[in-house]
Amino acid sequence: MKKNDIELDEIDLLVRKAFCNVKAPPCPDFSSIKDEAAETKKGFWSDVWNKLVKTRDEIGNGIRELSDDALDGVCAAGEKKSVETDHFKNDKDLSGK
Amino acid sequence: MITQKEMTSYYEDIAPKLTSFLLANGCGYDQASDIVQETFVRLWKMRDQLTEEDSVSGLVFRIAKNLRIDAFRKNKREVLVDEYEDSTVPTVEDNLDSDQDEQYIRNCIVKALGELPEDLRVCYTMFNLGQMSIKDISASLNISESLVKVRIHRAKEKLKVSLAYLKENL
């Protein structure tokens, strides 16, 4: 008996015979195995989309906070001005007396 | 791309050889079964990347060899041949006596194979139990075909000596 230029001798046949009846495990159900390549692609684009939405929200929040701060500043300045004006008004009132 | 029917056909052809190869290389039956199934699941997942030049058998043995190494690393120890002697390997035969004889001979052979240096054992078991061609073994192990032949020859010479007692008793 020959295979690939190497003769199978008694030892080879003995070894092969000892394992010839080994039962293989049951065949996996290939139809139930998910197509990971497609899942990975889908997962990649969904990750990109989620990141875009997150970034948009962060930027939106940032702008909102900035404008809130700015408005706070304007309000604070306004309040200060009105206090100053009140003082001035009071002074005026006092001087009027 | 490989269809499900083709994959099942490959499984039926290669899985028994791969199981024998893994048993001969120190795996217990349960571990060998896990590796065989995991190998084919991985092959199925990468089926669209396979080309016609790829040898499915060579690829299967390469994946299984890596999974076996991973499993041994994970367990941090190799399965000892003595432990392994107690485990029974299911066979397709139901005859208890012949089953026990076969189990005994198999254990003796596994023990003899376990005494071989790993490079010789892997080449020999791929060739004889995996029934792979020299070309596929060479590609799978990334060594020359002549080195594969030399290793198989050396393994055979050593096995002839270590299994001489078995031949005399048969």
Q: How confident is the model over A32-86, as pLDDT tens digits?
A: 877 666 666 667 788 888 889 999 988 988 888 887 777 777 677 777 666 666 6
Q: Give the model confidence (pLDDT) of B131-167 as tens digits.
A: 999 998 998 888 999 999 999 999 999 999 998 887 7
Does B84 reach chain A within 8 Å, measured CB to CB? no
Written as six digits, the tokens of B132 are 């792979």
Instruction: Show which of residues 126-165 on chain B sit within 8 Å of chain A, judged by CB atoms.
Output: 127-129, 131, 133-135, 149, 152-153, 156, 159-160, 163
- Using a CB-CB cut-off of 8 Å, the residues of chain A touching B128 are 8, 12, 15-16
Q: What is the mean pLDDT of residues B8-20?
A: 92
For residue B96, is pLDDT > 50? no
- CB-based contact A23 B92, cutoff 8 Å: yes
Model confidence band, residue B77 (pLDDT cutoffs 50, 70, 90): low
Give pLDDT, residue B154. Answer: 94
Domain count, chain B: 1
**pTM of the predicted structure, to 2 decimals:** 0.66
For residue B79, is pLDDT > 90? no
Q: Give the model confidence (pLDDT) of B38-63 as tens digits.
A: 999 999 988 888 877 778 888 899 89
CATH code where residue B57 lies:
1.10.10.10
Q: Check residue A29 and report its DSSP letter.
A: -
Residue B118's domain comprises 4-169
Q: How far is B94 from chain A (nearest CA, A)?
A: 10
For residue B87, is pLDDT > 60? no
For residue B122, is pLDDT > 90? yes
HEC per residue, B43-112: HHHCHHHCCCCCCHHHHHHHHHHHHHHHHHHHHCCCCCHHHHHCCCCCECCCCHHHHHHHHHHHHHHHHH
Give pLDDT, residue A2. Answer: 44
Model confidence band, residue A18 (pLDDT cutoffs 50, 70, 90): confident
Cα separation values, A80 from A66, A72, A88, B82, B168, Å: 21, 12, 12, 90, 110
Question: Domain ranges in chain A?
Answer: 2-44+63-96
The answer to whether the CB of B25 falls within 8 A of the CB of B68 is yes
Give pLDDT, residue A8. Answer: 73
- Using a CB-CB cut-off of 8 Å, the residues of chain A touching B44 are 28, 30, 33
- Cβ-based burial of B46 (10 A; exposed 0-12, middle 13-18, buried ≥19): middle
For residue B32, is pLDDT > 70? yes
